[in-house]
Amino acid sequence: MPYINIKVTDEGVTAEQKKALIRGTTELMVKVLNKTPNTTFVVIDEVNTDNWGIGYEQVTEIRGK
Amino acid sequence: MPYINIKVTDEGVTAEQKKALIRGTTELMVKVLNKTPNTTFVVIDEVNTDNWGIGYEQVTEIRGK
Amino acid sequence: MPYINIKVTDEGVTAEQKKALIRGTTELMVKVLNKTPNTTFVVIDEVNTDNWGIGYEQVTEIRGK
Amino acid sequence: MPYINIKVTDEGVTAEQKKALIRGTTELMVKVLNKTPNTTFVVIDEVNTDNWGIGYEQVTEIRGK
Amino acid sequence: MPYINIKVTDEGVTAEQKKALIRGTTELMVKVLNKTPNTTFVVIDEVNTDNWGIGYEQVTEIRGK
Amino acid sequence: MPYINIKVTDEGVTAEQKKALIRGTTELMVKVLNKTPNTTFVVIDEVNTDNWGIGYEQVTEIRGK
């Protein structure tokens, strides 16, 4: 039943990393909460660095320094 | 006032299907909760199949079997 | 695979209405997108009217007029 | 049309502060994006400090130091 | 600690406007709730007008009138 | 920078389990994506079983069988 949404900046997350995030998050739900993998959703959102702000600035600006 | 977010995999949802989802969801809010259509938001997010995991696997992997 | 999140104000949504929202939304995913009911999640969030704003005002304020 | 969701810890956000957040956010959408206030939603979620983690710890743990 | 998610239609939001939204939202959290800018996240989601519905219609349809 | 939202039903998630979810998720971001723990947010939402539907039914109904 868990639904897990992972939001990260779109800075080159590879297919392998996505698989690792999905496996790791699902495994955590199984181990900690005894949830069923087949009804555990993991959704990864990749956000443009122009669209993510922290400390008043866009990540694009922060990366540019 | 309702805000409804529909997350589905980006597996070819057509414009007509999106219209049907928006109409159907709005109609449901009107019929069940007597909400006002003009302040009922429906937002559809289409998620890459690499980015959606279920049962430890990416939907891309599941579809590939 | 769909995940649908319905956000409404916490103005007395009954158990029957919640069942109707869950059934209706799931049915819509099946009919429009041919999705599988057993992997279709519907999550209803009920938001305090102090915490929902529209047109500069809290719903609490709007209701109070 | 904008939908803005503000998630903060439930550490005593007052009704006046909620009003200020709703007004300020709506005003920002109007000034920056020329949006219509009557179709601008602001939803505030207050999250228990046990349920918010940063730097490996719950906010409850951080506050307790 | 705040996490603010701004969802708007993808109708040409400029880099400057995104900066203004990030600055303004962060400033609001600092002024109203005394939050720390370096742990205040602002994430902007730009949604295709086909994927946003209001009053039974897609924004694409509404704009086309 | 990651923001992770974990939605589960409110079926007695203990403080210890919440700590384990926060630690495990943060550790996953560090190991897989080399992210900074102090700017990694984990937010856990506990949803009433009346408010979570799967396969046309509320979790409350499913649990009652």
Q: Answer whether F50 sits within 8 Å of C18, measured CB to CB.
A: yes
Decide if E2 contacts A55 (C-beta within 8 A).
no
User: What's the rounded Cα separation, in Å, for the pair A56 and C18?
Assistant: 40
Report the mean per-residue pLDDT for chain B: 97
Decide if A55 contacts E38 (C-beta within 8 A).
yes
User: What's the rounded Cα separation, in Å, for the pair D14 and E36?
Assistant: 18
The tokens describing E44, both together, are 């902007």
Query: Which of C8, C38, C48 should we substitute to test contact with B (largest number of B Cβ atoms within 10 Å)?
Result: C8
Tell whether D39 is within 8 A of chain B (Cβ). yes
User: What's the rounded Cα separation, in Å, for the pair F40 and F59?
Assistant: 31
The tokens describing B55, both together, are 């049962």
The tokens describing A43, both together, are 């959704």
Q: How many CB pairs under 8 A join E and F?
A: 11
Decide if C44 contacts F7 (C-beta within 8 A).
no
The owner of tokens 């709506």 is D26
Decide if A26 contacts A37 (C-beta within 8 A).
yes
Chain C residues whose beta carbon lies within 8 Å of the beta carbon of residue F51: 18, 43-46
Question: What count of residues does chain C have?
Answer: 65
Report the gap between the CA of C17 and the closest CA in chain F (Å): 10
User: What's the rounded Cα separation, in Å, for the pair D1 and C45?
Assistant: 20
Q: What was the pLDDT predicted at B42?
A: 98
User: What's the rounded Cα separation, in Å, for the pair E20 and E4?
Assistant: 14
Q: What was the pLDDT predicted at E18?
A: 98
Cβ contact B–F (≥3 pairs, < 8 Å): no
Q: How many CB pairs under 8 A join C and D?
A: 47
User: What's the rounded Cα separation, in Å, for the pair B52 and A19?
Assistant: 10
Q: Answer whether C51 sits within 8 Å of D40, measured CB to CB.
A: no
Report the gap between the CA of D65 and the closest CA in chain E (Å): 17
Q: Burial of E40 by CB count in 10 Å (0-12 exposed, 13-18 middle, 19+ buried)?
A: buried
User: Please, which pLDDT band fits residue A59 given cuts at 50, 70 and 90?
Assistant: very high
Question: D29-33: long-range contacts at Cβ-Cβ below 8 A with a sequence spacing of 24 or more?
Answer: D29/D2, D29/D4, D29/E8, D31/E24, D32/E17, D32/E20, D32/E21, D32/E24, D33/D2, D33/E8, D33/E13, D33/E17, D33/E21
Report the gap between the CA of D18 and the closest CA in chain C (Å): 7
Minimum-distance CB partner of E54 among B27, B38, B45: B38
Q: What was the pLDDT predicted at C1?
A: 84
Decide if D24 contacts E35 (C-beta within 8 A).
no
User: What's the rounded Cα separation, in Å, for the pair C4 and D19?
Assistant: 28
> Complex ipTM, two decimals?
0.97
Let me know the angle formed at the C-alpha of A23 by E40 and A21, rounded to the nearest 5 degrees: 30
pLDDT of B21 over the 90 cut: yes
Q: How many domains does chain C have?
A: 1
Minimum-distance CB partner of D21 among E3, E32, E39: E32
Tell whether C56 is within 8 A of chain A (Cβ). no
Indicate the SS3 state at residue B32.
Answer: helix
Closest A-chain CA to E25: A56
Tell whether A47 is within 8 A of chain E (Cβ). yes
pLDDT in tens, D16-31: 999 999 999 999 999 9
- If one counts every other C-beta atom within 10 angstroms of the C-beta of residue C31, the result is 11
> Which CATH number is A27's domain given?
3.30.429.10
User: What's the rounded Cα separation, in Å, for the pair C26 and C42?
Assistant: 7
pLDDT of B38 over the 90 cut: yes
pLDDT in tens, C10-54: 999 999 999 999 999 999 999 999 999 999 999 999 999 999 999
Closest A-chain CA to E2: A54
Tell whether D7 is within 8 A of chain E (Cβ). yes
User: What's the rounded Cα separation, in Å, for the pair F11 and C27?
Assistant: 26
Q: Could you give the residue numbers annotated as active site of F?
A: 2
DSSP state of A65: -
Q: What was the pLDDT predicted at C40?
A: 98
User: Domain containing B18: what range?
Assistant: 3-63
- If one counts every other C-beta atom within 10 angstroms of the C-beta of residue B24, the result is 18
Q: What was the pLDDT predicted at D1?
A: 84
User: What's the rounded Cα separation, in Å, for the pair F56 and C21?
Assistant: 9
Closest C-chain CA to F52: C43
pLDDT of D49 over the 90 cut: yes
Indicate the SS3 state at residue B2.
Answer: coil
